[in-house]
A and B are shown apart, each in its own frame.
Chain A
Amino acid sequence: MMGTVDLVSAQDVHYRQRTLWGDAVRRFFRNRLAVLGLIIVLFFLFLAIFADLIAPYPYDKMHLDKTLRFPFTDPEFLLGTDEIGRDYLSRLIYGARTSMTVGLSVQAIAFIIGVPLGAIAGLRGGMADFAVMRLVDIMTAFPGLLLAIMLVAVWGGGMWKVIAILGFTSWVGITRITRAQLLSLREKEYVEAARCVGANGVRIVVRHLLPNALTPLLVALSFGIPGAIFGEAGLSFMGIGINDPVASWGKMVGISSAYVRVYWHLAFFPTVLIALTMLGFSFVGDGLRDALDPRLIE
């Protein structure tokens, strides 16, 4: 009898070996706000992926005889219709798809530009570092949104152009973080150790430096996504982002300001969704930062 118990507990000990990521996940799920944020984010992701199945109408279907219906008055159009009779609920659901696509793609671009530049600056030093940092200086002196507006003015709007433009204007933070991380990490003993056993430069960067620099980058990512969603909503709000008929919350808010005196729902619903998305992502970001920061371990 005793023997079996011992065996089980010995296995338990083996399984309970704590890893950085295991600890982080545990800490993340212990944080109630972070979990709430994750639920919000997953909900909008779900809407985005299955918009075709959930939405009662296609996002561009017009009912020209039923324009500007108020919400909760017509069971056919639960949240009312917009100025050209499109079902508002459907457009709100498809808006989640636009927001999520933009948020994720923009950060992907920001990482593709930002990480290599930061890595070159941090590892090569010298002239390369100088050149990258001057580039960063220029981008910092030019507020991202204003540069984005100028680029849209030159290049035109539309989903993919907006993504490219926002991606191009939001890599500076990523570069800064990568560079700062690598500058401090490359002096660490384990890098020296790796070099001693004959690991080449690429291996050291990929296996030792980048994984250790990942934590702050992950946090930057989780704050960058709502930033990009805000950028798209802002551009579309001003009428230069996503083109009609694609649904975008920001654009819906922008158009609604002409009708806001009477048709309050046109402004109200998309603003609530924008606010919820931003809150969800920032809860997740805060949770990730707290969970991944080893200095916080009591």
Chain B
Amino acid sequence: MTRYILGRLASLLFVLLAVSIITFSLMRAVPGGPFDEGKQRLPEAAKANILRKYGLDQPVWKQYLKYMWNALHFDFGIPYQVPTTTVTALIAQTWFVTAQVGLMTIGLSYSLGLAMGLIAAYYQNSWIDSLVTFVAMLGTTIPNFVVALWLLLLFSVRLKWLPMGGWGEEQNRFFFGLLSKDWIMPVVAYSLRPFSTVARYTRASVVDAIYADYVRTARAKGLGERAVLLRHVLKNALIPMVTVLGPDIPNLLTGSIFIEATFRIPGLGKYFWTSTFNRDYPMIMALALLIALLWSVTYLFTDVVYTWADPRIRFGEAEGA
């Protein structure tokens, strides 16, 4: 077990190193740089000064080594777009917004998906089963920006119930200022896909579990229907879902560029976007490393949780799979 985790950690470090090298060289692969003059030309000396200040006059490999050295000391530099703050502070600030969307999405979609999947499986082949299956099918296929625009057309343009976009505006608060109308459409649009995945997998694994021997035993010994469903069916049905739902969490927490663009949410996705196109090297590097780290850690975590939740799985055997 320890050996397995150590091996996985080594490969995680390797992946981070590779991602940093690829991102670093990609961003510098084309001529030009973040401080190219637009309309106004800078004097040569001033330009050289700026480049020296940000260390851009050095050879690329030296810049890379310097960046990595600083990164190892948790110094990720200063974003070129907002020089008054640090990359860490800017990411923390924007991620707060994205994580809000992500957490609400996870809360809404996982609980609703679990409930609807369970109901659909319990009333198998009824109209409610067909309805859940149908919505889940739509949700897994239709892109979120399409859903977002439909919501926008219906609830903002047509019915004028909800604001067109923005995030945390004062006038859109309701319920003692705890909730905001700004949150509704992005979270619903973003939730549809994870909801569908959860509902689909819950339904499938509950249908499998419902006919299992231990469920019959539980019924035979006189347990109530609720106890059978929650303690025996659902508990066992959830285990295989760990591998499906786990990897989706970093995805949801880092947000969707499309949702953030459609609803004008100042989150991580927006900054990934502006940083890429403004050649904000320190921001891009930090974002790429953050995303790669999140993904790799989640995959590792999922595998470990899976083994812990289902003692029948042993690591030696899992290797080949």
Contacts and interface: CB of A to CB of B under 8 A. Distances in A.
Interface of A: 134, 137-138, 140-143, 145-146, 149-151, 153-155, 183, 226, 230, 233-234, 237-238, 253, 256-257, 260-261, 264, 267-268, 271, 274-275, 278-279, 282
Nearest to B165: A257
A264 B15 CA distance: 45
Interface string B154-177: 000110000010000000000000
A114 to B, nearest CB: 19
Contacts of B157: 260-261, 264
Interface in B8-34: 11, 14-16, 18-19, 22-23, 26-27, 29-30
A7 to B, nearest CB: 46
A140 B273 contact: no
Contacts of B29: 154
Among A143, A145, A183, max chain B CB count under 10 A is at A143
Given A143-B291, A146-B291, A153-B277, A274 B15 contact: no
B141 A226 contact: yes
Contacts of A261: 157, 164
B23 A150 contact: yes
A162 to B, nearest CB: 16
A260 B277 contact: no
- Interface size on B, as a range, is 35 or more
Contacts of A257: 149, 262
B299 to A, nearest CB: 7
Contacts of A149: 257, 272-273, 276
Interface string B136-152: 01101111011001101
Given A238-B258, A261-B164, A142 B143 contact: no
A237 B153 CA distance: 17
B19 A138 contact: yes
A150 B26 contact: yes
B26 A154 contact: yes
B145 A237 contact: yes
B144 to A, nearest CB: 10
A155 B276 CA distance: 12
B245 interface: no
Interface string B277-291: 100000010001001
A155 B141 CA distance: 29
Among B16, B276, B296, max chain A CB count under 10 A is at B276
A234 B150 CA distance: 16
13 contacts: A137-B296, A142-B22, A143-B251, A146-B291, A150-B23, A150-B26, A150-B276, A153-B277, A230-B143, A271-B146, A275-B141, A279-B137, A282-B141
Contact of B143 (A137, A151, A268, A274): A274
A142 B288 contact: yes
Given A237-B145, A264-B157, A279-B138, 19 more contacts: A137-B11, A137-B15, A138-B15, A140-B295, A141-B291, A143-B291, A149-B257, A149-B272, A149-B276, A234-B258, A237-B258, A238-B273, A253-B145, A261-B164, A267-B153, A271-B146, A271-B150, A282-B137, A282-B140
B153 A264 contact: yes
Contacts of B152: 260, 267
Nearest to A155: B30
B68 interface: no
A141 B19 contact: yes
B141 A153 contact: no
B190 to A, nearest CB: 14
A138 B261 contact: no
B257 A145 contact: yes
A40 to B, nearest CB: 12
A253 B144 CA distance: 13
Contacts of A226: 141
Contact of B145 (A146, A234, A282): A234
Nearest to B17: A138
B153 A134 contact: no
A146 B269 CA distance: 9
Given A154-B30, A234-B258, A142 B19 contact: yes
Contacts of B16: 141
Contact of B142 (A134, A264, A278): A278
